[in-house]
Amino acid sequence: MDQKSKAVFLDRDGVINKEVHHLRSKEELELLPGVGKAISTLNDTEYKVIVVTNQSVVARGMCTEREVEGIHEELEKILEGEDASLDGLYYCPHHPEGKVEEYSKACECRKPGTGLLEEAERDFDLDLSSSFLIGDSTSDIKAGNDAGCSTILVGTGYGGDDGEFRVEADYECEDLGEAAKLICNL
């Protein structure tokens, strides 16, 4: 029987790049210090590195899916320049109170729902119980916990201070660099 793969799921805003409330353009995209090195470190492990991110800017009418994809292309280009890469990138464009009718809905892919993690699980044949989710908000941690992943709350971005859900992460780290080291040493 083939052994399933493992992943490190990363939230985008506040974990990889500076938190910009409703980031809408690639010009606003700025990596946090040490992120390229941290992702490169994870690339050298047996883990897939996969971004899972809520992008309600689409539902809110602030930008299109194509513009979000352009931001993600820019992110991958920046990471490539730092010898780092992503194995997958999944986003949810929905929000229950969105202004764009097509995207205005509650869904299972919007964290704290587990839909994005489950889609990646299918695409990469992952064992979620051997995987990690690194996030800066309680909705990230709840999604990881509910999917059966080990969870790491980082102090960057919201640092868990959003107060949306009462959850506990398995680990707390200062930033993505410290979280990568933790995973490599477990």
**pLDDT-based confidence at 186, cuts 50/70/90?**
confident
β strands within 80-164, DSSP E: 88-92, 132-135, 150-154
- For residue 1, being part of any structural domain is answered with no
Token reading at 86: 């992503």
CATH number of the structural domain spanning residue 141 = 3.40.50.1000
For 44-63, how does the pLDDT look when each residue is reduced to its tens digit (9 = 90+)? 999 999 999 999 999 999 99
- For residue 88, being part of any structural domain is answered with yes
- For residue 120, being part of any structural domain is answered with yes
Which pTM does this prediction carry? 0.96
**pLDDT-based confidence at 3, cuts 50/70/90?**
confident
Is the model's pLDDT at 183 over the cut of 70? Answer: yes
- For residue 117, being part of any structural domain is answered with yes
| Mean pLDDT confidence for 28-40 | 97
CB 176 within 8 A of CB 159: no
- C-alpha 64/C-alpha 84 separation (Å) is 27
Is the model's pLDDT at 1 over the cut of 80? Answer: no
Give residue for tokens 């920046």: 78
| Mean pLDDT confidence for 124-135 | 98
**pLDDT-based confidence at 180, cuts 50/70/90?**
very high
Q: Which residues are catalytic?
A: 11, 13
Give CA 153 to chain center in angstroms.
12
Q: How many domains does one find in the chain?
A: 1
- C-alpha 8/C-alpha 156 separation (Å) is 17
For 5-17, how does the pLDDT look when each residue is reduced to its tens digit (9 = 90+)? 999 999 999 999 9
**pLDDT-based confidence at 108, cuts 50/70/90?**
very high
CB atoms within 10 A of CB 122: 8
For 135-158, how does the pLDDT look when each residue is reduced to its tens digit (9 = 90+)? 999 999 999 999 999 999 999 999
- For residue 109, being part of any structural domain is answered with yes
- C-alpha 60/C-alpha 47 separation (Å) is 34
The per-residue DSSP string of 67-81 comes to: HHHHHHHHHHHHHHT
For 62-86, how does the pLDDT look when each residue is reduced to its tens digit (9 = 90+)? 999 999 999 999 999 999 999 999 9
* Domain span at 166: 6-185
- For residue 77, being part of any structural domain is answered with yes
Q: Strand pairing of 132-135 and 150-154?
A: parallel
CA distances to 11, 75, 135 from 139, in Å: 10, 23, 8
